[in-house]
């Protein structure tokens, strides 16, 4: 039977490979231009289901992020669920579901705005700089949110077992990082070169 003593949840000493190092979160989020959020959203929901043995649907959980408004409710549910899990095991938490929803709402505005600018027929250098600035802003606040929440999750996993390891680097996050790097390259090229903007 599981008991709680301090922050150690005895009875849950199986190997838990769920910790995601903060340096990895930062690198992947920046490299992917914020796209890492979708992989992280999938992975941490899967981890929750595996850990609690509850039936969850990580793939569909991520797909909801393509649905206006409803996706924000799923972000709230994601954060609320983990905050509740930590609270039920007396693990300190600073997860704020409403703040997470606000951040993702802002990201959902900034990201399309950046790409809409780049779709102009005659993109000027000023417009290219504006698109790059918006991309940097949305990436920065996405990284801030994921890092803030992941610190809480790492604290929980370290409290859940004495046998904790790092989550494997998945193919999905590598692909997103590559796509993000290509996107950064295109935006930087548009800022630096008039001939590039004319393509």
pLDDT value of residue 49: 96
Secondary structure of residue 1 in the 3-state scheme:
coil
Longest dimension (CA), the chain: 68
pTM above 0.85, yes or no: yes
Rounded Cα distance, 152 and 81, in Å: 13
* pLDDT in single tens digits along all 199 residues of the chain: 344 433 444 445 678 999 999 999 999 999 999 999 999 999 999 999 999 999 999 999 999 999 999 999 999 999 999 999 999 999 999 999 999 999 999 999 999 998 888 887 788 889 989 999 999 999 999 999 999 999 999 999 999 988 999 999 999 999 999 999 999 999 999 888 877 776 6
DSSP code for 166: E
Answer for the pair 173, 39: CB distance below 8 angstroms, yes or no: yes
DSSP 138-158: HHHHHHHHHHHHHHHHHHHHH
């Amino acid at each position: 039977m599981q008991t709680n003593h301090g922050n150690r949840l005895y009875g849950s000493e199986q190997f838990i490979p769920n910790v995601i190092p903060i340096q990895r979160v930062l690198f992947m989020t920046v490299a992917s231009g914020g796209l890492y959020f979708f992989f992280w959203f999938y992975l941490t929901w899967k981890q929750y289901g595996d850990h609690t043995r509850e039936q969850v649907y990580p793939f569909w959980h991520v797909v909801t992020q393509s649905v206006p408004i409803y996706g924000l409710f799923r972000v709230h549910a994601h954060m609320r669920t983990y905050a509740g899990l930590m609270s039920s095991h007396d693990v300190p938490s600073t997860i704020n579901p409403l703040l997470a929803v606000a951040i993702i709402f802002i990201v959902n505005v900034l990201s399309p705005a950046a790409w809409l600018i780049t779709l102009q027929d005659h993109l000027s250098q000023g417009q290219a700089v504006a698109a790059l600035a918006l991309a940097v802003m949305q990436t920065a606040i996405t990284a801030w949110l994921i890092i803030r929440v992941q610190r809480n999750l790492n604290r929980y996993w370290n409290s859940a077992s004495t046998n904790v390891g790092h989550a494997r680097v998945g193919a999905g996050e590598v692909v997103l990082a590559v796509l993000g790097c290509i996107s950064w390259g295109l935006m930087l090229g548009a800022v630096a070169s008039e001939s590039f903007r004319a393509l």
